[in-house]
Amino acid sequence: PCLRPQVAGIGGIFEQTDGPVSLVSAEELAFKFAVNNINRNRTLLPNTTLTYDIQRINIYDSFEASRKACDQLSLGVVAIFGPSHSSSSNAVQSICNALEVPHIQVRWKHHPMDNRDSFYANLYPDYSSLSYAILDLVQYLKWKTATVVYDDSTGLIRLQELIMAPSRYNIRLKIRQLPLDTEDTRPLLKEMKRGREFRIIFDCSHHMAAQILKQNVFVFGGRFMSYIKESHWDGLTGRLSFNKTTGLRTDFDLDIVSLKEDGLEKVGKWSASGGLNITEVPKRKGINITDSLANRSLVITTILEEPYVMLKKSDRALVGNDRFEGFCIDLLKELAGLLGFTYEIRLVPDGKYGSQDDKGQWNGMIRELIEHRADLAVAPLTITYTREKFIDFSKPFMSMGISILYRKPNSTNSGFFSFLNPMTPDIWVYILLAYLGVSCVLFVIARFSPYEWYDAHPCNPGSDVVENNFTLLNSFWFGVGSLMQQGSELMPKALSTRIIGGIWWFFTLIIISSYTANLAAFLTVERMDTPVDSADDIAKQTKIEYGVIKDGATMSFFKKSRVSTFEKMWAFMSSRPRTSLVKSIEDGIQRVLKSDYALITESTTIDYITRRNCNLTQVGGIIDSKGYGIGTPIGSPYRDKITIAILSILEDGRLHMLKEKWWSGSSCLDEERRETGPMGIQNLGGLFIVLASGLVLSVFVAMAEFIYKLRKTAEREQVYIPTDHFEYVPNSICPLFLKLIKSENDIKLIGLEFEFILPPTIDNRSCSTGMTPVFP
């Protein structure tokens, strides 16, 4: 067996920059650390001590690198570490390969297929694996656009897997090269900022990366060639292993870092065997909500819709943000004042909220956020599941639903007989039948009960004449008096008739109370008869056309709904898109006013419209429940800050005051709250007609009664009544109806109940209060 040397020397060649002070490079420090660490750990190389010889060369000086390598080989070193620059490293590699001395490399190396240099080990990760790692990270972050910045042509080789990604993963890449003649990268960064290129992948030297990203790059030395290729161990950068053929590092871990408020923080790692593993980082508490937004200028995309965003009316020309006003504009001002950012408002070019076409492409404000042409979308933007997959939303600043806007139908004012409206015609017929039935039953029971009969002449003991108060007419009069709450001076005496009276009184009490309670509303409130009252009513008919705003959240709701009613409604709307779908809310309002059309849209918008247009009304209740939120690009650091600010102004009541400001000021009376107005003849005219009809009817009935009684009396007495005696008819208007009867000695006035004797003088033809009753 071969004996190990007691002392083994390792050469280290490192570049130094030109300057008054020579700084020790990170590679040199790592090299010394590795040698000292092996010497301290006697289990690695027992009975062997490593020594090192360090040579420093100027960067880009390959001749000096070759000379230093020859000097170290003459000292008997068993391996050479470095240098890191490509031209110098290639020169040293050529010498080591010729003399079969292990060469430990710490730089990126392209390994072509025909490369015969095999006597080296490279600590730099394999460029293909590194490219896959970056591609996996881009896919996890759901980047649709990215910019690749490299310093030389080798960067394109290292990132070839990422550069080929657009054809396979639908990623748009922009490729830029750092300036070669200067280290000032600010012009390039400013150009990328103007192009809103915020997702950047740098492939450059660690010196340049340190200036741009403020991060450190760690590089380590190596081991003896044979031992390195066969061993696996954990180093400062993780587990180390090399390909036995190429000497390239194959098993390594990458730390994924993210820029936070306090600097770079580790958020995950990537390994060739395990792939990408993102670990959750708990949110820090107590962070000022203005940290990430203070003094930043944001681009705001929005859309015109009352009362959220409107063009301000002014006599002078307005420019910039002063052109707009509305609820969302005031909300944006509150957020800007709380978070400390400035903003520029831009209307969305196509005037749409955002929806997907058949190819999956978005339009409207959603597209503006996806393509990073805007930082925030402040508008009545509905939070939906589909949109949430492509952009982020803040917590909702307003809750709403979907309802139906329809033209207010002609009111049905109360007519002359509106006092009959509190009850349906069926109820009035049932009341009349109940009145007739109770009166007839009362008459029969009163005749049947012996306790309702009484002696007509109590002073005459021998009289056997008895009478009953509840005649048929009195029974009907008792029912009418009870129903009108006036009484009839007829009181039942028997228990049976009292039961009937008590039940009838209870019935009339409930009827009159219910009638009185509803009478005022029916006399004063105008009744509205709408042809449809809900979404089910609209879906069941085709006479009234209905639709939604094109490319809005309401259209997406019906398009993706699996409820049978909504599917039927969407089938109707999609079959006639030109007439059912409208471009904007203004077009929808005009269609509702001018044609038989119902617009289905957000309830908050309907509330605002109906407060200002008295000819429109909301039909039915809320169909769906959603919320308006502020949209941000996916992964935006502003979302959480915006959410915290919205919750803040929501809790202190400012959001409620903003809504009251823009929704109040209605010119239409709220029909549910308005006070009862005075009643006119159109409300109570029917009562006067009934009164006049009753008076006229009573006159005719009185005349009929008078003539009927007159004839009956003449027939009974068998007398003739001259025509001239009718001149006494006016004098018969007395408490009792009187009839003139001519006799031989006097004139008898016989009443309905009594007979009176008057002196046979013409002057006594008028009624006298001193009449003496004469019983027959």
Give yes or no for a contact between 602 and 398, defined as CB atoms under 8 angstroms apart. no
On whether the CB atoms of residues 375 and 581 are closer than 8 A, the answer is: no
Separation CA 311–CA 746 (nearest Å): 103
Residue at 432: amino acid letter: L
| Owner of token pair 């010497």 | 39
Do 68 and 16 form a contact (C-beta atoms < 8 A)?
A: no
- Cα torsion through 398, 403, 405, 408, rounded to 10: -110
CA distance 221 to 12: 9
Type of residue numbered 62: S
Beta bridge partners of 412: 527
Tell me the backbone φ, ψ of residue 238, rounded to 5 degrees: 115, -160
387 is an annotated ligand-binding site residue: yes
Tell me the two tokens of residue 70.
């020859």
- CB-CB contact of 198 with 12 (8 Å): no
Cα 754 to chain centroid distance, Å, stands at 87
Say if residues 163 and 156 touch (Cβ distance below 8 Å). yes
Is 524 assigned a ligand-binding role in the annotation? no
- In single-letter form, the type of residue at position 226 comes to S
Residue corresponding to tokens 């009956």: 712
Please state, as a whole number, how many other Cβ atoms lie within 10 Å of the Cβ of residue 84: 22
Q: Is 382 annotated as a binding residue?
A: yes
Q: Is 154 annotated as a binding residue?
A: no
**Residue 250, annotated as binding a ligand:** no
DSSP state of 321: G
Instruction: Identify whether the C-beta of residue 254 lies closer than 8 Å to the C-beta of residue 248.
Output: no
- What single-letter amino acid sits at 137? L
Residue 18, judged by CB atoms within 10 A of its CB (0-12, 13-18, 19+), counts as exposed
CA 232 to each of CA 235, 241, 247, 250, 317: distance values in angstroms, whole numbers, following the listed order = 9, 5, 13, 11, 74
Binding-site residues, please? 380, 382, 387, 554, 602
Annotated binding site for L-glutamate: 380, 382, 387, 554, 602
